[in-house]
Amino acid sequence: MSQMVQTLITGTLVGGLYAVFSLGLTLPWGLLRVLNFAHFAYVFLFAYITYELAAVHHLDPLVALAVTIPFGALLGIVTQALTSKASLDTFGTLIATFGLFLILQAAMSLYWTNDLVRIPLTDNPYFVRAWHVGPYTIPFVYACAFASAVVLCVGSYFLLERSYTGKAIRAAVQDPQIAAAFGVNRVRVSYLIAGVAGTSAAVAGGFLAMLFALTPSGAQGWVAVVFASVLLGGLGNPRGTLGAAIIVGVAEAMTQRYVDPTLAKLTPLALLIVMLLVRPTGLFRPAVRIGQT
Amino acid sequence: MLAARRSLKLAGIALAASAMVLTGCAGGSSSGDNSSKHGADKSPIRIGSTLALTGPLAPTAIIHKVAGEQFVKQLNANGGLLGRPVEWIVRDDESSPETSASLYERLITQDKVDLIVGPYGTANISASMQVAQRHDMVFIHNSGTLVYAYTYKNQFPLYASGIKASQTGAETVFDAYASAPNPPKTVGFVVSKFPATNYLVYGHDGTPGALQVAKTKGLNVVLNVQYDVGNTDWSSIAQRVKDANPDLLFMGATGADGVGLLAALQQQGWTPRHQFYQFPAPGPMLGAGKIADGATTVTMFEPYEPYLSNTGAQDLVKLYPPAAKVAGIQYTVPDIQAALAWAQWQTLVAGVEGCKCLDQDKIAQTLEDTTVHTVLGDINFDPAQHNYYGDLSAIKQIQDGKWVVVYPKDKASNGATIR
Amino acid sequence: MTSTGPLAPSPLTRRPTAIKLAAAAAVLAVLALLPVIEGTGRNSSYLIVYLYFVFFWVTQSTSWNIFSGYAGYFSFAQGAFYGAGVYTTVLLVEHLHMSILLIIPIGGLVAGLTALLTGLIVFGIRSLSGEIFALFSLSLGLGFGVLANNVNAIDGGSGRVLGQVSYPAWLGSVNQMLYVLALVLAVATVFCARAIQHSRMGYGLAAIRDDEHVGGTLGVPTLRYKLMAFSIGAMFAGASGALHAVLINFVTPDAAFGQQVPFYVIVMSVIGGRRHWLGPVLGATLIYTTNDRLTNLGMVELNQILVGLLLTVVVVGLRAGIVVQLFRRPAATAVAAAVAVLIVEVTGRGGDVITTFAWAMLSGVAILLVPDRVYQMTVRHRPRWWRLGRLTAARDETASPPKPRVSGGLR
C-alpha cells in the first residue's frame, strides 16, 4: 500500500515538471495559434546553460534560475515577434519552428558535444536531498518543480480568467479585429503570453539540468509526454495542462513501478492516442473555442 | 549583348559566392587518395576505423583512441609496418551502429583505406562487421560479444569470452562470489538493452545466460528489470532494487550506468552488499564514492603479474598512462579496455608482418595458422570455433579505493580475495 | 488558384513531350548501367553507395508526399511505415530465410495495410483537424518504436543482426543489388506520384488540401482518396524500408523507428515543394547530397544547421518550395549549375563527381533564393532563346506586369 502511495507522490511531482515544460507549448498554441516546436530546444538550451553555470562556473543551480528566467522571457518574446512577422498559419509555424529546432539542436551538439553531461553532485547538492515523511520520500528538486508548476499554471489561469489583461488576450484570440476596435493592443498582449511561455522554458530547463544527464538528442524523448499533456489539458488552458500533466505523470509512474520501466514511455502515447480518438479537444476545456483551425 | 551581360552578371554573382565558400572549405575534403604514389614504398599504410568519440559509449571509447594512438606512434617509431609509416584514420560514429556501418562503407569505398580495425562496442561491431564482410576485409575487433552472430570467416575477436560467452562469463562471476566470506543467496538483475549486456544475461538459442546460470547455481532471482541504453532516470529502478533487496546486485551496465544507479540508490538510502557491473567505465566507478566499495567487474588485463609478462605489456603500461592524462581521462591505469585496444593492433600487425603483404585473405590465413602474442596472452584463433579461443575472464573488485584482481586465484593481485 | 498556376493541368504538362521522355530515358539508362561500370567488391565505388541513399530518400520523400503533400495532411508517421518494412525483413529473414525480392513487396504490403487500418480509424473522426492528425501520426510512429523495443518477438530492444540476405546472383554484389532495387523502387514511386498527380484522384486530393468540407460537398470522395493516398504512400515507404534493412544490417528499434526518417522526409518534401512530384525528388537529392559532403568533412552539426535554416527560409519565403520557383527560372538555374561545374572542374576543387554535383545544386538553389525584385532587375533583358523562361513567367500566378523593354537593344 505504501508503495502505491509513494508511486502516486512521485508521479504527481513528476507531473509538475511535465506541466512546467508543457505550459510553454500550450499557451502560444492555444492563444496565439503558434505551434512552437522549437520550445523543446529552448528547454534543453536553458538546461545546458544551467549546466554550464553550475558545473563550470559553480553557480548554485537554483540561483541560476534567476539568471535564465529573464532570458527565457526574452527568447519567448523574440520568437513571437519573428513568427508574427512571418504571418504563417499554425502549420506553417510548426514547420518553421521545426527548422529552428534543428538549428538549435545542432548548435548545442557543436558546443557541448553528444556526450552525456550531468552537473556533478558537488555543484548540485539538491539532487540527493529529499524529505522523508513517514515511509515516504519526497525528492527536493521534484517538489520545487511541482511548486513552480503550480505557481506558473495557476498564475497564468488567474491572469487569463480574472484579470482585464487576460480578457483582452482571449478577446484578441477570438476576434482580433473587434478586439482591436475595443482597444486591445494585440502585439503587447501576444508578447506577454510569449514571455510567460519563454519563462516556463527556462524554469523547466533549469530543473531538467538538476535532475537528468543531458544530451542534445534528449529533446526528442519529451515530445510524447508534452504533447500528451498539452492535448489532454486543452489548448491554452493552464489549469487543464497542470491537471493533465499530473495524470500523465501518475500513469507513467504506475507503469514504471508495476509493469516495466521501458514500457513507461508507451503510457503517454497511449493516452494521447486514446484522447485523440475519443475527445480531440481534451479532457479539460480548451481556453478558447475556435471553429476551424 | 546587354542582356547576355546581365545574365553573365548573375552568373558572376553565383561564381563569387561559390568561390568564397570554396576557400572557406579549403583543405577539408578527404576524398583524395594521396597514397597512390606508384612505386613509392614509403607511402603510408592507411588504416581506417570508427570510434564512439561522442555519445553514451564515449567514456570508454576514448580509452581505445588513446591506446590506439600510442600503439601507432610506437609502431612508426620502430619503422612502421612493412617498412612504411602507418596512418590511422579514425571517425566518430557517435555511438550509433548505423553511423558506424556507413562510415566504414565510406572508409572502404571512398577513402580506399588499406586495412580496417573494428570500432568499440558490440552494437557498432556487429553492424560494421557486415560491411567488412561485404568487401572481404579482415575485421579484427576488440569488444564484440555477440559470439553467436559472428560467423564471418575473416573476423577475429579479441574479447576473449569463449564461444559460449554468456554461460562461461556468468559462471566465472558466480563462482567468484561463491568463494566470498558471505556468499549471496539472492540476486537482482538490472540489465541494459545494449546487445552485449542483453545477451550475456539472457543467453541465446540454447546457451544460457547469467539469469539461468544463477538459478543453476542455487541463487534466488528476486528482480529482473531492463532499461534502455542511455537511460538517465534511475529513481524508479532504484526504488525497485531497494524493494527487492537482493544480496547481489547484477547490473548489465555500460559506461556510466552504474554510477547513475548508485547515486539514485544513495538517494533512496540503500547500499548494495554485493554488486557486479558488466562493462562499466572504470574511472567513474571509482569516483562514485563509498557506496561503490566492493563493486566487481570482468577484466582481462591489469598492470600486475601475471599479465605484465605478456608480450607488449611493458610498453602498454609505460606509454598509456601519460597519454591518458594528457587526453583528460581521469583514470589512467591501463586495464581491460586499453589492453583490448592494444591487443587488437598487435593482432593486425602480426597478420600483416606475418604474411608480409596487405592481401586480406593472406592476412586472415596467417592469423588462423600462427600464434599471436598479445598483452592478453598468447592467442590461437580457432576457425572451428569462429576464431574464438577460450574464456580469459577474471574478476576485479574495488577494494580501498582501487581496482584489484580477486579471482581466479592464479590471476589475483597479491593474493587478494573477493570481499 | 490551381487553375492558372504552373502546375495546372494543361496540354503542356499532362503528357510528357518527346524531349522530356528522351531526357528521362537517358538519365535512367545512365543510372541503370552505373553499377556495371563502377565495379564490385573492394574496388566498388562510393558513387553506388551514395546513389543508393539518394534513391532511398527520393522514395521515402515521394511516398510521404503522395498523401501529406497532395492532400495537405502533415503526417509524422513515415517512421512507422518505414520501420514496419525494416522489421518485416528482419523477421522474414530470421525465420524463413526468404529472398529479398519476395520480402520487399511483403514489407510494402504490411506497411500499406497498417496505414489502411489506421486511416479507417482516424479519418472517421468528425473534428479531425490537420494538427490533430499530425499529432496522432507522431504518436503512431513513436508507439511502434516503443512496441518494437519491448516485444521480444519483434526485437525486445537489443537489436537484431540481419546476417546474409539471399538474393538472385545476377544482381551482383550486395552494394550493386541494393542500388538496382533502390533504383527500381524510386522510379516506381516517382512514376506513381506523377500518375496520381495528373489523375482524377490527384485533383481530388488537391481539393481536399484546399478545403475539405467544400470538396466533400461537391462530391469528392474524400475518405476514399485519403485512404488510398495514405496507403499507397505507406506501401512504398514500407517496401523501401524492407530493402534498407539489408543496408543497416544491425537493426535496432532506434534505427527503424527513430526520428530521422519522419523528420527528414518532411524537410525534404517541404523544401522541394509539396504540390508537384518533382519537389520531393529535388529536395531529397539536395538535402542528402549536402548531408553527404558535409559528413565527409566531419561537419555533422553544420549539416543539420543548414537543413534547419533552409527549411525555415523556404517555409517563410518560398512557401511552395523549390520546384515552383524552379519552373519560373529554369534557364537561370541551369546556367548557374553549369557555371559551377565549370569552375569546380577548372580549379580542380571537385575531387569527385559527387562534390561537383553538390556545388552545381547549391548554385542552382542560390539562384532560386534570389528575391524576385533583384532577379527581375538583373534579367530584365532576356535574349530570344530564353523564351521558355518567359513562358513560365507569364503563367506564373505572382508574375509582375511585363516591364518596358529598352528600345533599340538586342532582343
Per the CB < 8 A criterion, the answer to whether B419 and B181 are in contact is: yes
Name chain A contacts of B260, Cβ cutoff 8 Å.
213
Q: CA C124, CA A173: separation in Å to the nearest integer?
A: 29
Higher pLDDT, A268 or B376: B376
Is some CB atom of chain A closer than 8 A to the CB atom of C263? yes
Give the phi and the psi of residue A144 in degrees, each rounded to 5. Answer: -60, -45
- Which of C45, C249, C381 lies closest to B130 in CB terms? C249
Q: What is the pLDDT of residues B49-87, one digit of tens each?
A: 999 988 778 878 999 999 999 999 999 999 889 999 999
Return the pLDDT at C164.
80
Q: Phi/psi class of residue B162: alpha, beta or left (left: φ > 0; alpha: ψ in -120 to 50)?
A: left
Name chain B contacts of C409, Cβ cutoff 8 Å.
2-3
Residues 279-338 of C with CB under 8 A from B: 295-298, 300, 332, 335-336
CA nearest to C249 within chain B: B127
Q: Phi/psi class of residue A164: alpha, beta or left (left: φ > 0; alpha: ψ in -120 to 50)?
A: alpha
Segments of chain A scoring below 70 in pLDDT: 280-293
Is some CB atom of chain A closer than 8 A to the CB atom of B239? yes
Interchain proximity B4–C383, CB inside 8 Å: yes
CA nearest to C244 within chain B: B98
Q: What is the pLDDT of residues A10-35, one digit of tens each?
A: 899 999 999 999 999 999 988 888 99
Interchain proximity B243–A3, CB inside 8 Å: yes
Interchain proximity A260–C150, CB inside 8 Å: yes
Per the CB < 8 A criterion, the answer to whether C78 and C141 are in contact is: yes
The C-alpha cell 538517465 sits at B232
Give the phi and the psi of residue B250 in degrees, each rounded to 5. Answer: -105, 105
Q: What is the pLDDT of residues C221-268, one digit of tens each?
A: 888 899 999 999 999 999 999 999 998 888 888 778 887 888 889 889
Q: Which of C210, C200, C233, C188 is nearest to C65 (CA)?
A: C233
Cβ pairs A/C, distance under 8 A = 125
Q: What percent of chain C has pLDDT over 70?
A: 84
Interchain proximity B30–C297, CB inside 8 Å: yes
Name chain B contacts of C306, Cβ cutoff 8 Å.
none
- Which of C41, C163, C366 lies closest to B136 in CB terms? C41
Half-sphere exposure (Cβ direction) of C84: Cα atoms closer than 13 Å: 26
Q: Please give the helix or strand (H or E) that residue B336 lies within, else none.
A: helix B336-355
Q: Which of B394, B397, B387 is nearest to B408 (CA)?
A: B394
Is some CB atom of chain B closer than 8 A to the CB atom of A128? yes
Name chain C contacts of A263, Cβ cutoff 8 Å.
146, 150
User: From the CB of residue A274, how many other CB atoms can be counted at a distance below 10 Å?
Assistant: 13
Cβ pairs B/C, distance under 8 A = 143
Give the phi and the psi of residue B92 in degrees, each rounded to 5. Answer: -90, 115
Name chain A contacts of B243, Cβ cutoff 8 Å.
3
Return the pLDDT at C78.
93
- Which of B10, B25, B123 lies closest to C250 in CB terms? B123
The C-alpha cell 515523511 sits at A133
Looking at this predicted complex, what is its ipTM?
A: 0.83
Q: What is the pLDDT of residues A201-250, one digit of tens each?
A: 999 999 999 988 888 888 877 888 898 888 888 888 899 999 999 999 99
Q: Which of B162, B230, B199 is nearest to C160 (CA)?
A: B199
Name chain B contacts of C249, Cβ cutoff 8 Å.
101, 127, 130-131
Q: What is the mean pLDDT of residues C194-212?
A: 88
Return the pLDDT at B12.
47
Query: Domains (ranges, CATH) in chain B?
Result: 6-160+305-388 (3.40.50.2300), 165-299+395-415 (3.40.50.2300)
Chains in contact with B, counting 3 or more C-beta pairs less than 8 Å apart as contact:
A, C
Distances (CA, A) of C178 to A218, C72, C78, C158: 33, 32, 21, 25
Interchain proximity C132–A99, CB inside 8 Å: no
Interchain proximity B110–C296, CB inside 8 Å: yes
Per the CB < 8 A criterion, the answer to whether B53 and B39 are in contact is: no
CA nearest to C172 within chain B: B134
Q: What is the pLDDT of residues B244-274, one digit of tens each?
A: 999 999 999 988 889 889 988 987 789 999 9
